[in-house]
Structure 1
Amino acid sequence: MIATLEYVDILDRSEQLGKMVMASDTMEAYKQTRAALHEDEDAQKLIQAFLDMKDQYEDVQRFGRYHPDYYNIMKNIRVVKREMDMNDKVAAYKMAERNLQTLLDEISQYVAESVSEQIKAPKDGAALTDSGCGCGSGGACGCAS
């Protein structure tokens, strides 16, 4: 593609927009909470405990109710996740992450609507999720597609 002045101008403006996002209060809050989360030993222990339990959970999911520890692991994953989620640093980080995602979604929506009402933009982090049902089949199972 041959670069035109208009194309270069669009790229320059998008770079400026990126710099504005990086300099925003929302991004600063995200960076601060992320740093605080990584420095907090209790939070890191809870996260590691959750990741360890998640490995067991994924193993159980392959066999379902036929796995000998199914009910025990299903209960433990919920307990460990709740403990992790109740940590102040984890909760603050998740909130900052959600605020940043909202900002990025709003920018995407604004840019898309500036071009045309028919252009779809991701909402609520939809670009990061699957079809919504959680089965991962892309709607082939007949659920939400």
Structure 2
Amino acid sequence: MLATLERVDILHKADALAKMVLESEVGEDYLLCLYKLRADREAQRKVNAFTKWKDLYEDVQRFGKYHPDYKRVNLGIREAKRDMDMHPSVADFKRAETSLQSLLDEISSMIGRSVSQFIKVPAGNPFFETGGSCGGGCGSGGSCGCS
């Protein structure tokens, strides 16, 4: 691939945009919450417990309700997830992660619309409004009513 001045300029602008996102209030909040989550031993213990239950759950799902531990594992994973999600560090991180994802979705949509109004921009949040009837990037071939 040949590096033209236009491509180099686009790469520089992309780097500048990435730096702006990281230095934004949303980006800094995300990084702070990530640091706090990684430093919180109790939160890490709960994440690890949930991961163990998740591994058991995936094993049980191969056999479905016929697995002898089906009910125990389903109950255990739900309790572990609720316990993990209710921890303040995890909840703060998830809120910051959602805010950052919304910002990135909005930026992607703006970039897509600047190229063409017909570009479908996949968004992390299915309820994200992009001005279309389906929220963008549905991948259903127009069966959702988008055109």
Assess same fold via TM > 0.5: yes
Tell me how far 1:124 sits from its aligned partner: 2.8
Q: Please give the alpha-carbon distance, in whole angstroms, between the structure 2 residues aligned to 1:120 and 1:76.
A: 40
Aligned: 1:111 with 2:114? no
**Structure 2 matches for 1:87-106, cutoff 5 A?**
87-106=87-106
Q: Please give the alpha-carbon distance, in whole angstroms, between the structure 1 residues aligned to 2:119 and 2:90.
A: 35
Please name the residue that 1:143 is paired with. Answer: none
Post-superposition Cα deviations, 1:27-65, rounded to whole Å, max 9, x if no partner, equal: 110111011111111111111110011111011001111
Secondary structure of the corresponding residue to residue 72 of structure 2: helix
Tell me how far 1:92 sits from its aligned partner: 0.1
Post-superposition Cα deviations, 1:93-136, rounded to whole Å, max 9, x if no partner, equal: 0000111111111100000000001111122356xxxxxxxxxx
Which amino acid in structure 1 is aligned with residue 37 of structure 2?
Answer: L
Which amino acid in structure 2 is aligned with residue 29 of structure 1?
Answer: D
Q: Percent identity?
A: 50
* Residue segments in structure 1 that go unaligned for 5+ positions in a row: 127-137, 140-145
Please name the residue that 1:5 is paired with. Answer: 5
Which amino acid in structure 2 is aligned with residue 47 of structure 1?
Answer: V
Secondary structure of the corresponding residue to residue 12 of structure 2: helix
Count of residue pairs the alignment pairs up:
128
Please name the residue that 1:32 is paired with. Answer: 32
Give the superposed CA RMSD. Answer: 1.7
**Structure 2 matches for 1:47-126, cutoff 5 A?**
47-125=47-125
Q: Please give the alpha-carbon distance, in whole angstroms, between the structure 2 residues aligned to 1:33 and 1:118.
A: 36
Question: Under a length normalisation based on structure 1, what TM-score does the superposition of the two structures give?
Answer: 0.82
Which amino acid in structure 2 is aligned with residue 111 of structure 1?
Answer: I
Question: Under a length normalisation based on structure 2, what TM-score does the superposition of the two structures give?
Answer: 0.81
Please name the residue that 1:17 is paired with. Answer: 17
